[in-house]
């Protein structure tokens, strides 16, 4: 488990805990979308329906890859 310090909307400092595999994929998604990690976490935070940010991040990653695999090739 990795604890990551993030800054949401350049205002709110917090931390999330993720398994290393999720953290690796989160970094890959941020890079693919040309976003910093803080920008991606801010995006996830602003759209989440889960009360826990770490859970929201995991669900975001899952949905990202589900949508990517369902896209026409």
Q: What is the pLDDT of residues 9-27, one digit of tens each?
A: 889 899 999 999 999 999 9
- Burial group, residue 3, by CB count within 10 angstroms (0-12, 13-18, 19+): exposed
Q: For residue 66, what are the CA distances in angstroms to 10, 13, 49, 58, 70?
A: 29, 30, 18, 12, 6
Domain ranges of the chain: 2-70
pLDDT > 70: percent of the chain: 99
pLDDT for 39-52, tens place per residue? Answer: 999 999 999 988 99
């Amino acid at each position: 488990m990795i604890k990551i310090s993030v800054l949401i909307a350049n205002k709110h400092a917090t931390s999330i805990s993720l398994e290393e595999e999720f953290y690796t994929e989160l970094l890959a998604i941020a890079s693919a979308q040309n976003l910093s990690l803080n920008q991606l976490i801010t995006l996830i935070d602003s759209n989440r329906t889960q009360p826990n940010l770490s859970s929201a991040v995991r669900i975001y990653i899952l949905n990202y890859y589900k949508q990517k695999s369902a896209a026409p090739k």
